A and B are shown apart, each in its own frame.
Chain A
Amino acid sequence: MRIMIKGGVWKNTEDEILKVAVMKYGKNQWARISSLLVRKSAKQCKARWYEWLDPSIKKTEWTREEDEKLLHLAKLMPTQWRTIAPIVGRTPAQCLERYEKLLDAACCKDESYEAGDDPRKLRPGEIDPNPESKPARPDPVDMDEDEKEMLSEARARLANTRGKKAKRKAREKQLEEARRLASLQKRRELKAAGIDVRKRRRKTRGIDYNAEIPFEKKPPPGFFEVSQEERPVQEPQFPTTIEELEGKRRVDVEAQLRKQDVARNKIAQRKDAPAAVMQVNKLNDPEAVRKRSKLMLPPPQISDRELEEIAKMGYASDVLSNDEELTEGSSITRALIANYNQTPARTGMTPLRTPQRTPGGKGDAIMLEAENLARLRETQTPLFGGENPDLHPSDFSGVTPKKREIQTPNPIATPMGTPSGIGATPRVGMTPRDASNFSMTPKGTPVRDELHINEGLESPVSENAKAEKLRQAEMRRSLRNALGVLPAPKNEYQIFVPELPVEEREVVEEMEVEEDMSDILARKRAEEAAREAEILRKRSKVLQKGLPRPPPAAIEIIKNTLMYGEDGKGALVPVTYVEQADELIRKEMMLLLEYDNAKYPAEDSSVKAKKKGGKASSNGKKPFIIPEIEDIDAERLKEAADLVDEEVTILRMAMGHEDATIDDYAEARDACVDDMIYFPTRGSHGLSSVANTGDRLAALQYQFENVKKHMETETKKAVKLEQKLKILSQGYQMRAETLWRQIETIHKEADTLGTELECFRALHQQEQLTAPRRIESMQEAVREQMDRERVLQLRYENLLVEQENWKRLILEHDAAAAKIAAEKAAAEREAEEKAVAEREAKEKAVAAEREAEEKAAAEREAKEKAAAVAAEREAQEKSAAEREEKEKAAAAEREAEENAAAVREAEEKAAAEMEGKEKAAPEKEAEEQAAAVREAEEKAAAAREAEEKAAAASESEEKAAAEMEAKERATTNEEVTTMVAAESDEKEKAAAEEADTSAAAEKAATETVAQHAIAEEAERMEEEHADEEMAAANKVAEYAIAEQTERVQADEEMVVEHDVAEHAIDQATRMPVEPAAEVVVLRHELMATEKPVDEKTVSGGLAEAAETVGDFLREGTGQEVEAGSGPAKMELVEE
């Protein structure tokens, strides 16, 4: 087994795989990642990632700062690269490498260092100990098989996003493909070699489901051509999917189109290969790709001009200094070339050089540090003692070295008079403003005499005090001039008074102060007012009263007109005193007018005057000269006023209008004014009253024209104004109009609504009264109806009672009538029946005689007689019992007399019949029958009673029906009984007539027995029937109370009928037993007579008897069934 040690240089493929794997699996599953790389372990993968592939790793060159930091930190934390690395911002490996490199570089300077034996350099054959931090080796053009495999598997695994199965599938597919290709290749090679390898067909076991069609029934070949039959069955195509149903969706269509577009683009690209290559090249071109940011440099600290100067100076001094030897000979002339450097005192100049970009020593700082570190490293432990290695100074003030601003020094800005001569450390970026430079020189400001003109003066400056003084004065002056140029100081202060905390006492003080202030103000105002008044008083009356004054132009005219004396013509010299006085007054007036005009210009003109005044002053025009007037004191003024008043009164007295009012004066004045008119011809105003007509006309015309002109301008102005106004206010007007319209409509609406409201209110009021009233009336009506109902009900009740009474009356009457009729009819019928019975009896007797004679036997006679006797005796006993019963029945009958008339009728009939029977029949059997019948009737009556009791509330109709039924039943009973009676009568008669004949006797006996049996049976039946009837009646009554429906009744009847029929059948089946019992009894009796009885004969006779009885019974039951199945039930006898 080959031992494979993982590791080695990283290849490009491996790097790529690692990157993708990290993308997929993250930075925690290194084992999984390493499983993708055949030759790398998990640890190595991790190292590779963290050392090289992590995109946050800087692979740029080390900057100075980084170097500084690195060295500094390395000194602080020796060999703690993992701590240092994040501070520097590199990986630890990078840090270490750089560090060593730097130290090597530092060592290079040492003489003892040989660059050749660098221990870190890999020698041929050596293996890189940490290949993780090295760049990847490019892939070879032809990769190894295993590498390829690794790549493809990694691709499969990394591309797989679905899971293990998909991965396995992909791998299997690849393997399959590989195998197929291999086999193909093999076969091809074999073929080429001439070896034919037949492809073996693999045996398939079982059924090939692809080949076989299940349940295929192949048509028999040959005979039956089926090809014609095969017809393509048109199967209906139903849309099964939504897409089929709805057609293609737009999204899908678009997607397809997009796909097509992409494909087309691809094709186009392929066709346009050179262009594509160009494009790719362009993209790959690093120059094109990399975008350089704009170079941002700090603004230059030395301007171009300064640079030039520096160059010049340097050049000059260089020339001078360099050519010292050259110019040595002419040292005298050399002095002529002034070295106008700014530090005249200095001979040995600091060479002016453009300072290094990096300040001195700075460039070496890193190297120095590195050297330090190298030395420190080389030293042994201090425990051995010895000297410390001498190190370059460095600062340890912080974790990282201090950052120093690098500034370009400006030699011009820097005064050159720096006394210190350390050129290595120039004063960086400082414009020394301290005056020490100057003050330090004891001589004050040095005098510039490079040419040594003032050589002698330099020391005896202090001696020459005068010159000094002069100089100082000069200096002072110049200083003053210079200071004069300075902007004038602004004496504007802004004082912020801090807000003092207000105290109560202060407030009080302030209050006082305020009061004082107001007083002061008031006083001041009063003073002002007084002063004003004083001034006003001193003014002329015109001003005082605010009268109109003539404008300045008018004053000139007035002057011209009035002061003719002063016109320069020197015309008239006032002669008289009056004239002189007049003259004086005029002068005074003019003076006053001018004064007033000048001092208090008229209001309207003042504005203009001001404007003009501004101009005038600028134009240098002569301002108004205010004429000086005499200042007259108040007393004299008052005196004057008094004088004037006196004069006025005197005048008024003299003119005789002392009682004229002010209105009169006004009128007079108006007349005067009206009279004044302007005469255009004369060009002056004058009195129209004294002018001639022509002048007046002209004046008027002139005035008219004037007015017209004015009018025109005014009209124009007005029109213009109107238009302007219209524009201004049109919008408002329109708005107002619309508003007004709205107001109108809404007002109308409000009006109607108010009316409506009033109406509704009135309606409401009225309705509140109406509704209860209506309800009341309605209630009244209802009450009326109720009363009426009561009355009507009463009436109805009365009528009902009356009707009832009438009905009863009529019924009673009818019953009475019917009884009488029935009695008559019964009597008649009986008579008839008797006749018929006799006839029949005769016939029967004849027949019986004949029979009896035939059958008769001598020996049987006695027996039969005995039997007859026994039967007779029995019958007698029975009849006695029956009689008793009859009596009882009679009592019951009496009780039932209250019942319906029909019952009575029936009873009466029965009584009649009984009577008839009693009369007619010698035998008691008839009576017995009749009694039975009667009993039956009684029972019926009793049942009816019960019925009535039960259905006390039932309708009279029912009663009537019951009665009717009872009647019918009675009639049927009667018929039955009559028939039976007739029969029995006949038989009895026959028996009576031929009592000696045993046959007759026997028959009679059997008949009686049968009769008895029948009676018994009937009784039993009737009992049961009566019970049932009761129940039925109860039920009927119930139903009658509940619903009174006939249907239920019918049902009940049906049930009852059914019961009856059943019972009848039952009876019929049970019947034969009892006659047999009777026969047994008979036989015993016969035996008791101790007469030999032939069993056979007896039995035969018995059989005969039984036959007859059965017949009879059959007849009877048939009758009974008939009676039972009738519409009404039969009430039967109860024991």
Chain B
Amino acid sequence: MTAATRRKDDVLMLEAAAASGGRDPRWRSGSFDDYSMDALPYIDHDYSHPQVKAEVDKLIEDEMKRSTKRPASFLADLPPLPAVDLEECPMLSKEFERVRLGKPPLTMDMSRYALDPPHLNRRYDVNAWKHALHNAESQLQHQTIRVENLELMLKYGANAWKVHNQHLEAFHSRLQAITRDYAHSIESINRERKLNQQAAAAELGRLEVQWKELSQKNLDIESACLELAVSVQKLHQEALEKGANCDSQTQTL
């Protein structure tokens, strides 16, 4: 529909969506039952015409400018997100506090990963030594576990990887199949659309031709009528001038 043919009471889609705000918008449900969207893209080739295209694009732009549906408010009709107070979480609140004060982020304490004897001035502190020993032992334990893990990996890793890869491959192939299915169904739907539209196009073309012919004919008839009326008028005048007996004529008419 071009701008010229658009009537005042026509409602564009975006406006309609805005108007129907409170309800669940129809575009989300996917039904277009009472929509006056008139488009048959397989047979409407107006858009391919550059002039028409420019015009349409301009219209769309205008509409977008006028539209109340900004990207921000586009999902406004969705239910609100559950409220989460991030301030309440102790860790986050601490972090927020830190950020608010503009302090640098805390560095991680890496001392427990070092395998050092106690500091020099505490060399003779039994507790310090105990602590160091404990730390070292835990590290050793960690190392042992690590080695164990590595050994396990050595033993089962290759197979695990293989299995993992197999899973991935299976996943990949499944995805591929899904993609193929999608492509296939898109193809079929589009084909059906095209066929339907072409059938409609034939019908429409026939009707259009008929309409055009009729319109032309009517125009011709109208003009002929006008001419005739003029000539009749002239004759009337002539008759009057000649003083013929117009009464009978008028009576017959």
Contact = CB atoms under 8 A, between A and B. Distances in A.
Contact of B40 (A758, A767, A809): A767
Interface in A732-772: 732-733, 735-736, 739-740, 742-743, 746-747, 749-750, 753-754, 756-758, 760-772
Contacts of A711: 115, 136, 139-140, 143
A793 interface: yes
A609 to B, nearest CB: 24
Contacts of B245: 809, 813
A782 B207 contact: yes
A718 B146 contact: yes
A762 B31 CA distance: 7
B45 to A, nearest CB: 15
B186 A760 contact: yes
Contacts of B137: 707
Interface in A119-163: none
Interface stretch (B48-56, B78-86, B103-111, B169-177): B169-177
A701 B129 contact: yes
Given A767-B193, A803-B235, A693 B126 contact: yes
Residue among A717, A753, A800 with most chain B CB within 10 A: A753
A796 B239 contact: no
Residue among A710, A743, A750 with most chain B CB within 10 A: A750
Contacts of A693: 124, 126
Contacts of B165: 732, 735-736, 739
A717 B140 CA distance: 12
Nearest to A730: B161
B98 to A, nearest CB: 35
B175 to A, nearest CB: 5
Contact of B207 (A708, A747, A766, A778): A778
Interface stretch (B59-67, B88-96, B210-218): B210-218
B228 interface: yes
Question: On chain A, which size bracket covers the interface?
Answer: 35 or more
A747 B200 CA distance: 37
B21 interface: no
Contacts of B175: 743, 746-747, 750
A649 interface: no
Interface in A760-814: 760-775, 778-779, 781-782, 785-786, 788-789, 792-793, 795-796, 799-800, 802-803, 805-807, 809-810, 812-814
B10 interface: no
Contacts of B154: 721, 724-725, 728
Q: For the complex, would chain B's binding face be called helix, strand, loop or mixed by DSSP majority?
A: helix
Contacts of A805: 249, 252-253
B140 A799 contact: no
A757 B181 CA distance: 10
Interface residues of B, number: 86
A771 B242 CA distance: 62
B80 to A, nearest CB: 25
Contacts of A803: 228, 231-232, 235
Interface string A697-725: 10011011001101100110110011011
B68 interface: no
B117 A704 contact: yes
A753 B153 contact: no
A488 B133 CA distance: 70
B20 interface: no
A917 interface: no
B38 A778 contact: no
B114 to A, nearest CB: 11
B225 A736 contact: no
B168 interface: yes
A729 interface: yes
A696 interface: yes
B140 A710 contact: yes
A870 B137 CA distance: 181
Contact of B214 (A721, A758, A773, A785): A785
Nearest to B35: A766
A782 B214 contact: yes
Contact of B211 (A735, A768, A781, A809): A781
Contacts of B218: 785, 788-789, 792
A778 B183 CA distance: 35
Given A717-B147, A774-B40, A778-B204, A728 B238 contact: no
A116 B31 CA distance: 136
Contacts of B222: 792
A758 B40 CA distance: 17
Nearest to A816: B244
A792 B225 contact: yes
B39 A795 contact: no
Interface in B148-196: 150-151, 153-154, 157-158, 161-162, 164-165, 168-169, 171-172, 175-176, 178-179, 182-183, 185-186, 189-190, 192-193, 196
Contact of B176 (A721, A746, A771): A746
Contacts of B178: 750
B77 interface: no
Contact of B37 (A768, A770, A793, A813): A770
Contacts of A703: 133
B244 A813 contact: yes
B136 A704 contact: yes
Contacts of B183: 753
A822 B154 CA distance: 139
B182 to A, nearest CB: 4
A733 B200 CA distance: 56
Interface in B223-249: 224-225, 228-229, 231-232, 235-236, 238-239, 242-246, 248-249
Nearest to B201: A771
Contact of B153 (A714, A725, A765): A725
A697 to B, nearest CB: 6
A336 to B, nearest CB: 88
Nearest to B248: A809
B208 interface: yes
B99 interface: no
Contacts of B162: 732
A767 B146 contact: no
A761 B221 contact: no
Interface string B26-37: 000011110101
Given A697-B129, A739-B172, A788-B218, A800 B228 contact: yes
A765 B31 CA distance: 8
Contact of B179 (A696, A715, A749, A760): A749
A179 B12 CA distance: 123
A796 B225 contact: yes
A718 B232 CA distance: 117
B251 to A, nearest CB: 10
B204 A729 contact: no
Contacts of A742: 172
A23 B217 CA distance: 103
B137 to A, nearest CB: 6
Given A778-B204, A788-B218, A810-B238, 18 more contacts: A707-B133, A707-B136, A714-B144, A725-B157, A732-B164, A739-B172, A750-B175, A764-B193, A765-B31, A770-B38, A770-B40, A779-B207, A782-B211, A785-B215, A796-B224, A799-B229, A805-B252, A810-B244
Closest 9 CB pairs of A and B: A732-B161, A785-B214, A806-B235, A771-B200, A753-B182, A721-B150, A813-B244, A799-B228, A778-B207
24 contacts: A693-B126, A707-B136, A707-B137, A708-B136, A718-B146, A721-B150, A729-B153, A729-B157, A753-B179, A761-B189, A764-B189, A766-B35, A766-B37, A772-B200, A792-B221, A796-B228, A803-B231, A806-B232, A806-B236, A806-B249, A807-B235, A809-B249, A810-B238, A814-B242
Interface of A: 693, 696-697, 700-701, 703-704, 707-708, 710-711, 714-715, 717-718, 721-722, 724-725, 728-729, 732-733, 735-736, 739-740, 742-743, 746-747, 749-750, 753-754, 756-758, 760-775, 778-779, 781-782, 785-786, 788-789, 792-793, 795-796, 799-800, 802-803, 805-807, 809-810, 812-814
